[in-house]
Amino acid sequence: MQSIADFDTHKILARVAEQFCEDHAPYIEAPAKADAEEQRVVRQFVEALLYEEIVNFQVDSRAMLANDFSRFDAVFDSIYTFTLSGTEFRCLGARRIFERIRIADGSIEIADKNHYREVRIQELIAHLDTGSETKMRLLGELMQTIALCRWNTSHLEHHLTPRRQLNFAELEAAITEGHLYHPSFKARTGFTLMDHIQYGPEAANTFQLSWLAIKSSNVERNFPADDNAFWINELGEETFSVLTQRLAKQGKSWTEFSLVPIHPWQVDAIQERGLAQAIRCGDIIELGQAGDHYQATQSLRTLVNVSHPQKANVKIPLNLVSTSSHRNLQDHFVCTAPTISTWLQEVVAKDKYLEQQDNLLLLSEYAGLLYKPEDENQAKAMDGLIGAIFRESVVDKLQPGEQAIPFTALMLVESDQRPFIADWLDQYGVEAWVNRLMEVMLVPIWHMLVHNGIAFEAHCQNLILTHKDGWPQRIVLRDFHEDMEYVEDYLKYPEHTPKLAETDPYFNTIPLDEGFSMSDIDELRELYMDTVYVLNLADLSFLLERYHQYPEAQFWNRVRHYLEQYRQSGITDSARIDRVGASSKSIIVESLLKKKILNGGTLDYFEHTVNNPLAEVTTEHTTQQLENQVS
């Protein structure tokens, strides 16, 4: 098979259309020069390529080629050179905290005869040392990301005016940036352009859920009340009555059927996966759309209720791949969600320190249901494709004068070329605001780990910050049904470990490390540090240095200060804190691009090792060590 480098533009578009849809083509058509959307995807791909050590590279001082890169920000102080398939590439960048490599947009160049020129995305992928099918899969996802970003830029106004005054739901739509590290941050394999417009968060279009009546024997559920009472409370009597009447017209009732929501896009997407067959044989009855209107959030399959914002967010499966994961609902982790949430709330409720500080809020996943056909083959085909998890809304938890923002917003730069948080930093001072953020965000999550023995996947999308006029108040955690871990003998109250097997016998059969219970505390440390530090606070510290001249070394000294202050407080025994090993010289970080290149599955894990700037050192050497990490 030919390499991608040999294909002309039309052939590339034809191959991409096979993976996606033809309506992407106008936005995939390559302009004469790379635009901002393509440059960002290229930049994030190369950042990950170097950071995850997928290729070897050489680093030289920027001064060697000062004239070639004079138009770029001075924070990018090094020239990175690497080779793919015998061709040399170079770019301007900087190695920062946790060895994160930051590259200047538009600086990535390919050697072409006797000079360098800006590389295009298809050229970069063509030179990867991997098979043609892998190249086409990667190129397809990256081109779809570029295409959807171009559509957003052309048709939406989010990027034209600052978003600082938007409310929580509006921000969930207006934050179009996506993942700040993963290069295929807008890949939605299976979505047409019209699906992106209707069901993606960016256009902020609203829609009703579709509803199915499914034979009760085929529905696993964990509700806080009996079925009818639950649905009346969730939907209101009027909507539940409408659905009941539609079922009655089919000669059926809720004595034999259970009500199940389904995303309207999913209805068409899984017809051939088994839905059509289940409808034909009478196991499932379509009831149509009804009830409140919802809007997608940054996580795509989590929907916020626009009609009644205080009512539940609904997490609902989509038969597509977005970023790195297939967006179904994982069997065994849906109906156990309420059990996990109840346990976590009990842990927080009896924690006197958290009660005193009052800066941690968990949004409970209080109900879950999943379609599980009795036929083994049908169950395999429909695994995780119909179901829902109901999660508390942060809007319903806000105190007077308190507002909520997705934590992602803290890392963003607005159309006025100032950070989203710039006004707050000007009002309170950078150091004071950073200190307050450490108290509100860092310490509670650290406390849950070292004191209670529970680690959360606390990346930006799983966090919400509440504030009063920009002054941080509380950190809100969400999405626990898959993204939480513990080691049983490290739990503060192991006797209260959630009895998951009582909800699902599966948890009596699986080995450690395949559910919530880990075999080693190292696993907890890796989850905490990877998400809280490497792919979260590291982005914030880089932004503060670049736009507010607040050195990264100073930011991470504040992190160290609050961790040490916590240790000295005696809230948690030092020996217990030491068991986490967060001061080790190196840490393991997940390799997201490597997983994407190798087409890893949901449970596959790829990793690389980086130096830990928070490793134990004497106090007088702390500042110098951190400065060395970011220089």
Mean model confidence pLDDT for the chain: 91
Give tens-digit pLDDT for 180-197: 999 999 988 888 889 999
List Cα–Cα distances, 340 to 243, 335, 361, 446, 515, in angstroms.
31, 10, 15, 19, 12
Please write the tens of the pLDDT for every residue from 318-334.
998 776 667 789 999 99
Q: So where are the chain's domains?
A: 4-173, 193-391, 405-629
| Burial classification of residue 242, based on how many CB atoms lie within 10 Å of its CB (0-12 exposed, 13-18 middle, 19 or more buried) | middle
pLDDT in tens, 363-403: 999 999 999 999 889 989 999 999 999 999 999 999 999 99
Give pLDDT, residue 64: 82
- pLDDT digits 0-9 by tens, 96-142: 999 999 999 999 999 998 899 999 999 999 999 998 888 988 998 89
Q: Which two tokens stand for residue 141?
A: 């996802």
- What is the predicted pLDDT for the residue at 619? 41
Q: For the chain, what's the residue count?
A: 631
Instruction: Find tokens 């109250």 and name the residue.
Output: 493
CATH 1.10.510.40 applies to domain 405-629: yes
Q: Who wins on pLDDT, 291 or 30?
A: 291
Residues 511-562 pLDDT 10s: 998 899 999 999 999 999 999 999 899 999 999 999 999 999 999 999 999 9
The crossing angle, in degrees rounded to 10, of helices 430-437 and 538-548 is: 170
Of the candidate CATH numbers 3.40.50.150, 2.60.40.420, 3.40.50.620, 3.30.310.280, the domain formed by 4-173 belongs to 3.30.310.280
Q: Do residues 474 and 443 make contact, with C-beta atoms less than 8 angstroms apart?
A: no
Q: Is the pLDDT of residue 59 over 80?
A: yes
Q: Is 415 helix (H, G, I), strand (E, B) or coil?
A: coil
Chain centroid to Cα 71, Å, comes to 33
pLDDT of residue 482: 81
Distance from C-alpha of 318 to C-alpha of 266, rounded to nearest angstrom: 6
Q: How far is CA 182 from CA 142, 145, 324, in A?
A: 10, 11, 8
From CA 571, how far away is CA 540, in angstroms rounded? 28
Query: Which of 379, 217, 209 lies closest to 283 in space, CA to CA?
Result: 217
The residue assigned the tokens 């941050």 is: 185
Cα-trace Rg, the chain: 25
Average pLDDT over residues 49-64: 94
- CA–CA dist 337, 365 (Å, integer): 6
pLDDT at position 620: 41
In percent, how much of the chain has pLDDT > 90? Answer: 77
4-173 and 405-629 in the same fold? no
Contact (CB, 8 A) for 469 and 408: no
pLDDT attached to residue 617:
53
Q: Which helix (H) or strand (E) holds 607?
A: strand 607-611
More confident site: 232 or 190 = 232
pLDDT tens, residue by residue, 416-457: 999 999 999 999 999 999 999 999 999 999 999 999 999 999
